[in-house]
Each structure stands twice: as structure tokens, then as C-alpha cells.
Amino acid sequence: MARLVGSLSPRQRLPPPLPVLLPRVLRPISPTASTPSRRRALLLLLSSSFGLGGPSLAHSHASASAMAAPPVAKKVPRDLVQHGDVRVDNYYWLRDDSRSEPDVLAHLRAENDYTAAVMSDVKQLEDQMYAEIRGKIKEDDIDAPLRRGQYYYYERTWTGKEYAQHCRRLVPTDAPITVHDVMPTGPDAPDEHIILDENVKAEGHDYYSIGAFKVNFLVWLHELGSIKTETPFSVQIQDFQLFDNHIAVYERENGLPKVTVYRLPAIGESIGQLQGGRTIDFIDPIYAVDPEDSQFHSSVLRFHYSSMRTPPSVYDYDMDSGVSVLKKIKPVLGGFDASNYVTERKWAAAADGTQIPMSILYRKDLVKFDGSDPMLLYGYGSYEICIDPSFRGSRFSLVDRGFIYVIAHIRGGGEMGRKWYEDGKLMKKKNTFTDFIDCAEHLIKNKYCSKEKLCINGRSAGGLLMGAVLNMRPDLFKAAVAGVPFVDVVTTMLDPTIPLTTAEWEEWGDPRKEEYYYYMKSYSPVDNVRAQEYPNILVTAGLNDPRVMYSEPAKYVAKLRELKTDSNLLLFKCELGAGHFSKSGRFEKLQEDAFTYAFVLKALGMTPKLASL
């Protein structure tokens, strides 16, 4: 679950200090998700690394997998009473706030050993996929320099280093900024100054992330007065950037970002209603756009762009002429060619007639659209977070194996505006789950995949989504990956001693009120596991996760093991050192993707063929 505590919206920007370095040891931010709320930066990381060990790895792959027996958690019944209703929790003992109880740690280690043993026969494939994913990264690289005052500021990475260096270099000219501005390099260029080396700061820490890095500049104010805009109901204003003579407005229309630039009247003149703006055109049918820092006294707007097939790119846009100049596109190695891939927007009809947008990526020379293609369907749908169709290099290890990758932009997210969010929270939360199911059925009906080839993935609040739809329609999916899932909704929301619980009542409701209690209970994954067949399932957790307690997925897996009637895979992988986001290094993060993809391929029975590629 996205246990969100941020208090700043995108417009509540921190004042820019002279380099303020705020090392964080617990809370990373995600560059992949866009949201108009304070929750912008959280929980979109689907990458983390979980280390496994244990003597089972010493066995041969075949024998280890065959000999492994799933752990069976002991049952210690505990009655949980609310509103006269009694819930019996046989696995409440797995919650240990000290994270030191021997029985609890022994059970978690047993789960890890079992997972390692079962997955040992695809360890070579996992390693191969990790090498593929890492091999797409240009390890020594520099991002697009930003000219600010007398300096260019930029980040640099080096081969083999997990973290970035923050650098600057003098601007050797007084000429005004243009979209064609280029930082000089080479022996005659001004010297490079390293402001911060994250690799040095990260030494001695299991987790390290910069919370903020700002450079101090004068703050310029422009008296706006009253601005009026004609904004249709389907359009949501998310952000804006103010310049000396322009204003750039970031909106969301029909599920996609939109950027419009308006010229401002001279200082002292009334602005009135913004009219005659120029909308920036983008190259893909579906994409992600985010503002970048820009100079107030210039006509250059800088923005970050990517799509599911277009690598992260930085553009400078001349707001006077309408000319866009590509300043940097992130290199993708390994023979990557964007023209091999197709991205498209499709819509699925929900049961109530609502049209649910989906973003789709596939390799055009590999898919057949006859129902035989494997698919990974991702969903989130909470906190008004927008899961925009941005670039993620690791996906191509599946897509290049014939997978279709789909993001379902279900209600509860913010992709279609405020009402979209409100229709997927509190007493309307079940819309999130039924939307996802409707998307899956639409894709099957239109032969994008079949039940036998459909795998699903969600993390945190998206893990709640996984647990809910698996209880509702276990027949619809072949495999599911639930990352750090929020699955014990009622118990957690009834316990104000758990960090962040009371703040979460705004999202889920307060179960001390009877109507919320019974509504939550009707979908809470732990409370609705029952004796039925489930697909192959991988669940992950972090022992020190402050947002979703490790005990939630641990209890969920224990109850599934007790009640499910199938012989499909059920694996639980608990990182005993890290928290909600696990590893922080740029290469360490890739390990979980490789492990997850190896699990998906194993569940689909595709590993023997692919391991030889």
C-alpha cells in the first residue's frame, strides 16, 4: 500500500537553497509516476532487490526444487471484535513490532529458503535476464546540463558505480539562453566541479537516496492578479511554470498530459483570461511529460518526456517560436530500436459503462493477436496517483520474448481527473478492482491474450489490487505478483498505533464506523481468502517496511497456504534488511525485476525455451 505522508503538492515547491543535501536512508522517490497530489513521488518504484540465501541453494537445482516443502505457519487463534462482529486471525502472531521474535524470524527465513529452492531451477535464467537489463544501461553517462546563472548543472554516472555525481561547470559566455545552448566540454572547457558524490555519501549505508538537491537562486515574482481559464470538466490543471513573459500550463486531458504555453501581457497590464495558447505536440500516441527546472528570465521551457517505447528525453522548447530541441535522450544499449515497438491506447468498458483507458506496448514482429501471446497486466489505482506510460528498460526483457505489456489506468488513480480518483476510494473502492477485471476480460475477448497466458502485477496499494482480484476472479489469471501488498486492510485501519494509519482513513475510510468496517471487510484480501483454486502467486515484503508491515503479506501467504485447493506456486520472499523500496542503487534495483520476470516465465512454462536464448 502507498503509505503516504508527504505534505507538499507539486506547486508547494521548496525554496531553492544553496546546495542543500538531504540524505535519506528510508524514503526514496520515484521519477516514474505523475500525480496532482502530495503523493506524487511515492510508490511507483517496481524495482527493488531481495537477497536470498540459505543452505538449500547448495543442492542441485532440480533436486532442490523437487525436495522443497512449503513452510506451514502455526495457528494461534486470536479473536478480533468490532461492531459485534468477530474475525478470527490465526496468524496474528506473525506481527512482531520489534522484528526480533525468534519464531517469526525463523518462519520468514523458512519462506525465503523455500522460495530460493523452488526458483533454483531458473536461477540461470534470472541471471541472464539481469545481465540483459543491466546491459541496456550506458553506465558512464551525463544528463542534459541546465544553465543556471553562471553555471551549468548536471549529473554524471560512472561505470560500475551505483550512484550519481552532482556537478557544475562555468558558463563561458554572457549570451542569453536559447534552445541551442550547449555546454562546452573538452580540454579547453572550464573545469568540472563535483558538488556531491552520492557514492561517497552512500558508503556504510544499506540504503541511500537524496531527498532534495537544489541550487540557490534569486526568486522572481510576477504579479499575476486574477487569471481565468476555460477548463472543460475533462481537463485537469496539474502544474504551471511562470516566466518573465510566459506561463506554461501542465494539464491532463482524456488521460494524457498536455502542455500549453501562453504569452503574458506587459507587467502592469491585466492578464484577464488566458487565450491563444500554443499546445506542444508530442511524438507518441501515449506518453509521459513532466516539468523540468527552467530559467525565469528566458523564453526556454524545459520538459522531460518519455513513452513506453521512447527512452527518457529532455527537450528545450522556445516559447516564442514553438521550436523544440532535443537536448538529451537516455542511451539504451543492446541493439534497442524504438521502431520495433508499438504503443497504443485502448479502452475497456466497465460494468457501469465507464470507459477505462489502457496503455499497451508490444514488439510488432513477435505478437500474433490470436490469444496465444503472453501478457503482463499492471495496475495500481489509488491515492490519485497517475501511472503514466513512461519508459522502463527492464520491460523489454519480457517484450522481446513476445509479451504484451499493459497498464490499466483504473479508477482510484488520477489519470482521468479528480472524479476518477473519488470514484475509486472510500465506499467506491471496489470500482478499482472491477475495473481491473473488466480490462483483463476485454483483453482476452479481443485476443490480446488468454487466461492461460495472462499474468498480473501490482505493488503496495497495487498489491491490495492483486489480492482483491485474486479472491474475486482467480480463474482469470495464470500468475500474479503482489509486491509489498497492503492486504490486511481492516486490521491495519483499526490500529491507530501503526504509523500512518489515521492519515489513511481519508483514502480507505475509518472502520470504527460500521459502514466502513463492513465495506472494507468485503474486499480486504486476508479476510476473503477461501477454499478455492488460485493461480501461481509471488508475494514480496520488507521486514523493516514502515508503510506496509511485513506481517500483512506474511499472514496473507499463511492463510493462502492453509485454504487454497490447488498445487500452483505460492512463493513468499521477505527482504530481512530493507523496507518498502528495498535497494537504492541503480543496479541493485534491477535484481527484483529479473527475479519477478523469471517467476512469470516459470509460471507460464516458458523457461526451458527461453533459457537457451
How confident is the model at residue 424, as a pLDDT? 98
Of these residues, 56, 121, 580, 593, which one is catalytic? 580
- CA atoms within 13 A of residue 64's CA, in its CB half-sphere: 19
- List pLDDT tens digits, range 350-386: 999 999 999 999 999 999 999 999 999 999 999 999 9
Query: Is 460 one of the catalytic residues?
Result: yes
* Cα 329 to Cα 306: distance, rounded to the nearest angstrom: 9
Q: Which triple of cell numbers denotes residue 48?
A: 527493488
* Cα 522 to Cα 512: distance, rounded to the nearest angstrom: 15
How confident is the model at residue 608, as a pLDDT? 64
How confident is the model at residue 456, as a pLDDT? 98
Of these residues, 284, 545, 582, 584, which one is catalytic? 545
How confident is the model at residue 275, as a pLDDT? 84
How confident is the model at residue 30, as a pLDDT? 35
Domains of the chain: 55-135+336-605 (3.40.50.1820), 144-154+174-192+203-331 (no CATH)
Q: Can you give the pTM of this predicted structure? A: 0.86
- CA atoms within 13 A of residue 311's CA, in its CB half-sphere: 19
Give residue for cell 546491459: 135
Q: Which triple of cell numbers denotes residue 536?
A: 501461481
How confident is the model at residue 414, as a pLDDT? 95
Q: Which residues contact 545 (CB under 8 A, 6 or more apart)?
A: 484, 579, 580
Q: How far is CA 180 from CA 259, 262, 305, in A?
A: 21, 21, 18
Give residue for cell 503496495: 460
* Cα 382 to Cα 204: distance, rounded to the nearest angstrom: 35
Q: Which triple of cell numbers denotes residue 425?
A: 476510494
Q: Which of 279, 363, 259, 282 is nearest to 34 (CA)?
A: 259
Q: Tell which wins on pLDDT, 499 or 74.
A: 74
* Cα 432 to Cα 464: distance, rounded to the nearest angstrom: 10
Of these residues, 34, 307, 382, 460, which one is catalytic? 460
Determine contact, residues 50/481, Cβ cutoff 8 Å.
Answer: no
Q: What share of the chain is helix, strand, coil (3-state, %, to 5)?
A: 25, 25, 50
Query: Is 49 one of the catalytic residues?
Result: no
Question: Would you list the DSSP string of 279-293?
Answer: EPP-SSSS-EEEE--
Question: Would you list the DSSP string of 403-461?
Answer: -EEEEE--BTBSTT-HHHHHTTSGGGTHHHHHHHHHHHHHHHHTTS--GGGEEEEEETH
Beta-sheet pairing, 454-459 with 536-542: unpaired
Q: Which triple of cell numbers denotes residue 222?
A: 510576477
Averaged pLDDT for residues 426-436: 98
Q: Which triple of cell numbers denotes residue 404?
A: 504484451
How confident is the model at residue 591, as a pLDDT? 92
How confident is the model at residue 67, as a pLDDT? 62
Provide the mean pLDDT of the chain. 86
Q: Tell which wins on pLDDT, 30 or 306.
A: 306
Q: What percent of the chain has pLDDT over 70?
A: 83
* Cα 25 to Cα 7: distance, rounded to the nearest angstrom: 19
- List pLDDT tens digits, range 513-570: 999 999 999 999 999 999 999 999 999 999 988 889 999 999 999 999 999 999 999 9
Beta-sheet pairing, 85-88 with 79-82: antiparallel
